[in-house]
Amino acid sequence: MSEFFDMGGYAPYVWPAYGLTLATVALNIFWARRLLAKSRAEARRRLEIQGGGA
């Protein structure tokens, strides 16, 4: 198992590369969902201001 994590001595390069890419994937999912939640809240607020309730 430790052989796997050692990556033949390339561990200091391989694992940061994987970590960085997977963090980019996770952040993109988080950002996209946060943007949609914000736009929804914003649209709800706008509709309430215009009257008639949502």
Partner 1 sequence: MAWTWFHRLGSPPHVYALASRLTPWFAWPAALLIVGGLYGGLVLAPPDYQQGEGFRIIYVHAPSAWMSLMVYTTMAISAGAGLIWRMKVAHAVAASCAPIGASFTFAALATGALWGQPMWGTFWEWDPRLTSELILFFLYLGYMGLRSSIDDLQRADRASAVLAVVGIVNVPIIHYSVTWWNSLHQAPSVMQLARPTMPASMLIPLLLMLLGFTLLFVTLLLIRLRAEVLSRERSASWIRTVLAHE
How far apart are the C-alpha atoms of 34 and 42, rounded to whole Å? Answer: 12
Closest distance of CB 29 from partner 1, Å? 7
Shortest spacing between CB 3 and partner 1, in angstroms = 10
- Rg, C-alpha atoms of the chain: 22
How far apart, in whole angstroms, are the C-alpha atoms of residue 15 and residue 30?
Answer: 22
How far apart are CB 2 and partner 1 at their closest, in Å?
13
What one-character DSSP code corresponds to residue 52?
A: S
Interacting residues toward partner 1 by CB under 8 A: 4, 7-10, 13-14, 16-18, 20-22, 24-25, 27-29, 31-33, 35-36, 38-40, 42-44, 46-47, 50, 52, 54
